[in-house]
């Protein structure tokens, strides 16, 4: 069971980094806009945390995208 979770966290980390890079945003900027700290974004983007639904909604908002866009990219990266 640990393997799928690792795979899922990796896919989410990639999706967040990719969206942040597309918008040329720093972790600090996304964290501030989302009401989360840069350290939280760092742990998320490294796959070391399992975010709550609330955190995902806030991160998508901080990235300036709907949650559906974040989950779409996440699902694509699961197949990579």
- The range of the structural domain enclosing residue 67 comes to 2-78
What is the DSSP track for 21-74?
A: HHTT--HHHHHHHHT--HHHHHHHHTT-----HHHHHHHHHHHTS-HHHHHHHH
Predicted TM-score (pTM) of the model is: 0.89
Q: Contact at 8 Å (CB) between 67 and 75?
A: no
Domain count, the chain: 1
Identify the pLDDT of residue 65.
Answer: 97
Q: Contact at 8 Å (CB) between 78 and 7?
A: yes
CATH of the domain at 70: 1.10.260.40
9 pLDDT above the threshold of 50: yes
Identify the pLDDT of residue 26.
Answer: 95
pLDDT tens figures, 12-55? 999 999 999 999 999 999 999 999 999 999 999 998 988 999 99
Identify the pLDDT of residue 3.
Answer: 56
């Amino acid at each position: 069971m640990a393997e799928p979770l690792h795979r899922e966290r990796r896919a989410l980390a990639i999706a967040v980094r990719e969206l942040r890079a597309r918008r040329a945003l720093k972790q600090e900027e996304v964290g501030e806009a989302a009401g989360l700290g840069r350290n939280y974004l760092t742990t998320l983007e490294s796959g070391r945390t399992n975010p709550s639904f609330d955190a995902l909604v806030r991160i998508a908002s901080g990235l300036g995208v709907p949650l559906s866009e974040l989950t779409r990219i996440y699902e694509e990266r699961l197949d990579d």
